[in-house]
Amino acid sequence: MRQRPAPIPGSLPPLLLLLSSLLLALSASALALEDPAGQIAELVPDPVSDPLSCQYSCSGDDPLSSLEDLLRGQAQLLTAFSILLDKTNRTTNESIVFLDSFEDLLRRQATLYSGFESLLKSQWYNLDCEQQKIFLDSFEDLLHREVRLYARFNGSLEQIWLSLPGEEKVKLLASFEDLLRRQADLFKSFEELYMMSQGGLTVEKAANKSCICRPGEAVEYSFTVKNWYNQTVKNVSIVDDHLGLIVENVTLGPYEVKTFYKIAHLEGTTCNTARAYGEGPCGEMLFDESNTVCVTLCPISGNNSASLVVGRQIAFSSGSDPPVALNNLELKKNQKVEGIAQNNNQSIWLGFQKAASISNPNSGGESGNNRKTVANQG
């Protein structure tokens, strides 16, 4: 993680001193969440009372619910920090320092959320249905809070954007992009937890290449179907909107995953999706649509060149009978390229040609140059 300059308390106005103190408290909060012995937890003030805090167990004996409560408390502290940050008059350098710190705290929070999500998944099937619902609602609430924090970070960034140096803009944009990517991963995890709680059937599609070089090239598609129920799903079929039926009459056991493959010869750019159908444990019809997979016909770049050179030719004839002196030349050249966007060039050069016949005045003579050139480029 990159080093960021720390504010110097003696050189800051009182409000910035308060921000620095809150920043230290937030850092201590992040460390406390990583401290299994709880030795640093006493440095962190108690979070504001929250209606969703500790719904599962307020006894403090359950590590999962305790971690969830600490994460919510940290989100509240981060919100308070961002509000104070927006209300404080700062120089550009001070803004960069505090935005860097804010971004670092958001990154630590995302890491902790990811750890909480992993722990929750590992214990998911040890929870009863009511506990799963409570934790799912709680995780959703944490994600909503994270969205609002990211929005506040974006607002703070916009306030000073025009005054930032170019390299600082690039650094903050790259960091913000990474935060959004981590957030998308957490959203995906929430979806998986929901499916683990509610059950369902999902299908994902992929291809072994994203580009083909010429029409008719083979592409292998994979179709991965998963049963999220803790009971068997029957009569599973997968249908692709371009390739047709992929598989049918498949049975999936509890939480089972199966992958099927199909090879297709594509004539051009193709984008398609797949649908999975099945029968749930209670006879209900299940349905899911996959992601869209596109394979494009990529242009081929290159040159196809040929050159023919015919050198000097001389024909000479003399005699008493009518002399004949002829140069007969026939050239045929064919170029064919399989592909697209090729430069197909050829050149034909015929050198010096001369034909001469010598005869007496009464017999006559014949001389000539006959040339035929055929060039076909496909």
Same domain, 343 and 354: yes
Per-residue pLDDT, 141: 87
Between 48 and 200, residue with greater pLDDT: 200
The total number of structural domains that make up the chain:
3
Q: Is residue 104 part of a domain?
A: yes
Q: List the beta bridge partners of residue 189.
A: none
Confirm if 36 and 101 have CB atoms less than 8 A apart.
no
275 lies in some domain: yes
- Residue 184 in any domain: the answer is yes
| pLDDT given for residue 278 in this prediction | 94
Predicted confidence at residue 36, as pLDDT, reads: 42
The one-letter amino acid at 133: K
> Among 198, 220, 247, which residue terminates a domain?
198
Pair (165, 65) in one structural domain:
yes
Closest by CA position to 225, among listed 194, 197, 246: 246
- pLDDT, position 321: 64
On whether residue 253 sits in a domain, the answer given is: yes
Q: Both 132 and 147 in a single domain? A: yes
The reply to whether 186 and 239 lie within a common domain is no
143: in domain = yes
Give the whole-angstrom CA distance, residue 100 versus residue 10.
20
What is the extent of the structural domain holding 100?
A: 9-198
Which tokens go with 357? Answer: 């016949």
Last residue of a domain, one of 198, 224, 246: 198
257: amino acid identity, one letter: V
Structure confidence at residue 88 (pLDDT): 78
pTM: 0.48
pLDDT at residue 219, as a whole number: 94
pLDDT, residue 33, reads 43
User: Do 47 and 116 belong together in one domain?
Assistant: yes
Burial of 117 (0-12, 13-18, 19+ CB in 10 A): buried
Residue 3 lies in a domain: no
- What is the CATH classification number for the domain harbouring 27? 1.20.190
d(CA 297, CA 317): 60
Token pair 């909107």 is found at: 241
Phi, then psi, of 181 in degrees rounded to 5: -65, -40
- Does a structural domain hold residue 1? no
User: Are 53 and 192 members of one domain?
Assistant: yes
Confidence tier at 302 by pLDDT (50, 70, 90)? low
Residues 194, 263 share a domain: no
Sheet containing 217-227, strands listed edge to edge, beginning at the edge strand earlier in sequence: 201-207, 217-227, 257-266
- Are residues 124 and 111 both part of a single domain? yes
Q: Is the pLDDT score of 81 beyond 50? A: yes
pLDDT above 90: percentage of residues in the chain? 19
CATH number at residue 209: 2.60.40.10
- State which of 198, 228, 262 marks the end of a domain: 198
Shared-domain flag, residues 17 and 109: yes
Beta-carbon contacts of 297 under 8 Å, excluding residues fewer than 6 positions away, are 211, 212, 213, 214, 215, 266, 268, 269, 340
My answer on whether 161 and 209 are in the same domain is no
Residue 94 lies in a domain: yes
Whether residue 13 sits in one domain with residue 133: yes
Nearest to 116, CA basis, from 65, 185, 151? 65
Task: Quote the pLDDT of residue 236.
Answer: 95
Q: Are 19 and 98 in contact (CB under 8 A)?
A: yes
Helix (H) or strand (E) segment spanning residue 353: strand 353-358
Q: Are residues 182 and 221 in the same domain?
A: no
Q: Is the pLDDT of residue 54 over 50?
A: no
